Amino acid sequence: MTINKIYSSPADAVADVPDGSSVSIAGFGMTHSFPTSLTVALREQGARELCIVANSLGAGPYRSNTLIENRQVNRLIVSFSARAGAGVSAAEEQIAAGLIDVELVPQGTLVERLRAGGAGIGAFFTRTGVGTAIAEGKEVRTIDGVDHVLEQGLKVDYALIKADRADRFGNLEFGGVGRNFMPSFAKAAKIAIAEVDEIVDGEIDPERVGLPGIFVARVCKSTVDVPHDHLTPKAGRGASSSRTYHGKPAWTREQMAEVAASLVPEPSYMNLGLGIPGLISNYIEGRDITLHSENGVLGYGTIADKENYDPSVYNASGHYVHVNPGASFFESVTSFEMVRGGKVDVVALGAFQVDAKASLANWSTPDMVGGGIGGAMDLVAGDATVMVLMTHLDAAGNAKLVKECDYPLTGQSCVDIVVTDLAVLRWDGTRFKVERIAPGFTPAEVVELTELDLDVSAVS
């Protein structure tokens, strides 16, 4: 019998999804790599009481959030259920109303749970999430002197994924960072359904297969043409603007990024988080610093402008970027192996709070329903130098360098360097020591605007 996994349409491919199914839906950020045609088809098919497993829910009428708006979902297992400053979504409204149960999972743990489920591995121990709300109620075991949290393998009934092309055998080929979550999501599913831009006549060259057809049950061609915008990097109030303290301008976000870049040793592999850290890529050209992104690229460079970009190459912030010589693409499981395995030297993240014990809070605030863990918990659980970039005070004028975090923790005692718009601080093992201050400001002013105790002896 000749193998032929091609379905006539996305609607045919999802026609048998019953009520109560668990469905993993791939996609990165708000708009990238989502199986939009399959998602729209599932919305129109109308299956209810679905458990959606996803990194993020996306935006607009073509992505996972459309199923929530259509009241088809009663459970979420996700890395992002909300995003700070994005307004209240349908997911947040229904979670708050008790209509949807939500389980938040760090991004690296999510793909590893799916990979484990697909590989027949029941559970595993990870350093990610130790000492945070994610570890509550789970077994913690000390291995080689380090605490680890027990996480369960995860299987799903269906997976909806996206690829560039497929053949009738179900073999898939990906472009750029497009493979990110696809392999792990597909492997964990009883029935993996792939939406592709092209179905080749014949077969894909074995050397180009990114996911073997044994993991893919159904293939269909994309039918929904979704426009994509060229995202402009945003860093709070604007990359070139600055806040004022005591009537004087602090460093701009661009200047903060430039200062942070100057602190990175060479050679280094470095991961850049969302927001201000993403601007660092514009200040390392010509230096022996290789940028790593958890969505599956090593060796990217500057932000690409609207006239010259590849829509298949974007960073963790969702911004299109150029790639440098020696760059490589890979799936998210491999990406987090690099992080947790100690191959990444420096991690730069944004934050809501950093406290006197060098602990970090950056995924949820009291006004959010749920939150957005993303890959941050995995990034701080490795052996990398953790650098935080944030404004010195929040929008309401409250200290972000506090005695003790009262927002949910991302990681305990994990921060090594903090770059604010007023100062550079380095952890010395007992407290933060100020190394540099923005022009026009004094140590006394920095201390006044900081809740935790600082050592300013080096700049006094």
Q: What is the pTM of this model?
A: 0.94
pLDDT in tens, 157-180: 999 999 999 999 999 999 999 999
Q: What is the CA angle 185-152-408, rounded to 5?
A: 95
Q: Are 343 and 269 in contact (CB under 8 A)?
A: yes
Q: Indicate if the pLDDT at residue 303 is higher than 90.
A: no
Give yes or no: 294 in active site.
Answer: yes
Residue 231's pLDDT is what?
62
Name the least confident of 29-38, 83-92, 273-282, 283-292. 83-92
Helix 107-119 × helix 332-340 angle, to 10° = 120
pLDDT in tens, 348-378: 999 999 999 999 999 998 888 889 999 999 9
> Rounded mean pLDDT of 304-324?
89
Task: Round the average pLDDT of the chain to a whole number and report it.
Answer: 94
> Rounded mean pLDDT of 392-417?
96
Residue 372: which region, alpha, beta or left (left: phi > 0; alpha: psi -120 to 50)? beta
Q: Indicate if the pLDDT at residue 86 is higher than 80.
A: no
With cut-offs at 50, 70 and 90, classify the pLDDT of residue 245.
very high
Name the least confident of 76-85, 207-216, 254-263. 76-85
Residue 95's pLDDT is what?
94
Enumerate domains of the chain plus CATH numbers: 10-221 (3.40.1080.10), 244-455 (3.40.1080.10)
* DSSP label at residue 393: B
Beta bridge partners of 218: 193
Residue 144: which region, alpha, beta or left (left: phi > 0; alpha: psi -120 to 50)? left
Q: Indicate if the pLDDT at residue 67 is higher than 60.
A: yes
Per cent of the chain over pLDDT 70 is 97
Q: Which of 92, 112, 173, 294 is catalytic?
A: 294
295-318: burial string, b at 16+ Cβ within 10 Å, e else = bbbbbbbebbeeeebeeebbbbbb
The phi and psi torsions of 389 (rounded to 5 degrees) equal: -115, 125
> Rounded mean pLDDT of 282-305?
93
